[in-house]
């Protein structure tokens, strides 16, 4: 839905860039798929240097920079702020999934259930990011249930 008017091409490109954050963070969940399908690993290999940047303290700094400098800055176009906040919320879901899997991994012992959960998280994130980027490049708001509702509450 495009309810704030037309968006410029440059705004569309800037609005799609924050989705790199959840995409890069989801690569950790794709380990099993990359082992089973090596061509898939080749497709995502250009993002591997960004994975080193997103882990640890630097990833947290990037997270807060996007939030404080983009989402909370009312001088920036609403379309860009909406997509930045949506990318942040997708990343928060990934962080929660990572914590839950770290708690459950001793019980799962690297078995089929762990592989399945990690594959579902990776593919779900990939689908959400791909959908969001395509909608953003089309100049429309990517409406993901529950996440977009939370974004609408945060970004005014």
**50 vs 95: CA distance, rounded Å:** 17
pTM score, whole prediction:
0.88
- SS3 state at 115: helix
Four-residue CA torsion sign, 41, 42, 45, 47: negative
**123 vs 117: CA distance, rounded Å:** 10
- Residue-wise pLDDT for 108-154, tens only, equals 777 888 899 999 999 999 999 999 999 999 999 999 998 888 998 88
Q: What local confidence, expressed as pLDDT, does residue 109 receive?
A: 79
Structure tokens at 82: 């909406």
């Amino acid at each position: 839905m495009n309810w704030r008017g037309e968006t410029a091409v440059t705004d569309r490109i800037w609005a799609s860039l924050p989705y790199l954050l959840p995409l890069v963070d989801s690569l950790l969940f794709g380990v099993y798929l990359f082992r089973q399908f090596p061509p898939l690993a080749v497709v995502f290999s250009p993002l591997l240097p960004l994975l080193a940047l997103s882990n640890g303290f630097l990833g947290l700094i990037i997270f807060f920079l996007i939030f404080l400098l983009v989402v909370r800055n009312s001088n920036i176009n609403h379309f860009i702020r909406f997509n930045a906040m949506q990318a942040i919320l997708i990343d928060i879901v990934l962080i929660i999934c990572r914590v839950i899997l770290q708690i459950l991994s001793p019980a799962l012992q690297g078995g089929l259930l762990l592989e399945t959960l990690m594959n579902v998280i990776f593919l779900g994130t990939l689908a959400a990011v791909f959908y969001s980027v395509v909608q953003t490049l089309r100049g429309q708001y990517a409406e993901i249930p529950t996440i977009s509702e939370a974004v609408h509450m945060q970004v005014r």
